[in-house]
């Protein structure tokens, strides 16, 4: 399936790369992959006649893969639009947003089991779903650097 998805990368390169990175780190249910092949074939065919429609379908497909992998592996929250750089409040200096910054911030909200930070998107697994809901309520639509953070609870 990797080769087939890669052949469609040109339709949505950033989303494709994020999902590919995610699939390398996490496992995906084999039955889900079997079901995905006809969808990818349909998108490939559609791209020849209706590229805009194919882009929409491929983006929707990648979102469904992302949610499947997140649910399958017990993650309960997604944080999107994390900037690469943000301004430090005290010094007003731009610094790279790194793994440690995100980890330390998320630990302030509750017990953090694990998370993955991939291309401006953070996949989070809190020990309790309540913690994910509270965190979502607090940081959704917050500004970080020049970006507005969007969060989503995975059910």
- Stated pTM of the model: 0.79
For the record, the structure tokens of 34 come out as 């079997």
Q: Where are the alpha helices (DSSP H) in the chain?
A: 2-7, 13-25, 30-49, 51-72, 99-107, 129-139
Q: What integer pLDDT is reported at residue 13 of this predicted model?
A: 86
Spans of all domains in the chain: 2-72, 77-153
Task: Return the residue matching tokens 């500004």.
Answer: 143
What does the alpha-carbon distance between residue 143 and residue 149 come to, in Å, rounded to a whole number? 6
CA 46 to chain centre: 25
pLDDT digits (tens, 9 = 90+) for 95-150: 888 888 889 989 999 999 999 888 889 999 999 889 999 999 999 999 887 889 99
At 149 the pLDDT is: 92
- Start-to-end Cα distance in the chain: 26
Query: Tokens at residue 134, please?
Result: 């509270």
Alpha-carbon gap, residue 61 to 49, rounded angstroms: 18
The DSSP H or E segment spanning 78 is strand 77-80
Q: In the predicted model, what is the mean pLDDT of residues 60-77?
A: 86
β-bridge pairing 121-126 and 112-118: antiparallel
**Residue 87: strand pairing partners:** 94
CATH number for the domain whose boundaries are 77-153: 3.30.70.330
């Amino acid at each position: 399936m990797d080769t087939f998805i890669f052949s469609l990368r040109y339709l949505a390169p950033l989303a494709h790369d994020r999902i590919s990175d995610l699939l390398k780190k996490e496992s995906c249910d084999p039955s889900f992959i079997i079901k995905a092949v006809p969808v990818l074939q349909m998108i490939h065919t559609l791209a020849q006649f209706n590229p805009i429609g194919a882009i929409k379908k491929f983006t929707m497909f990648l979102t469904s893969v992302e949610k499947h992998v997140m649910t399958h592996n017990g993650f309960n929250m997604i944080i999107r639009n994390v900037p690469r750089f943000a301004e430090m409040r005290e010094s007003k200096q731009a610094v790279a947003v790194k793994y440690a910054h995100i980890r330390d911030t998320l630990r302030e909200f509750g017990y953090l089991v694990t998370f993955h930070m991939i291309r401006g998107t953070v996949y989070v697994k809190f020990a309790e779903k309540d913690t994910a809901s509270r965190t979502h309520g607090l940081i959704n639509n917050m500004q970080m650097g020049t970006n507005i953070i969007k969060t989503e609870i995975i059910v």
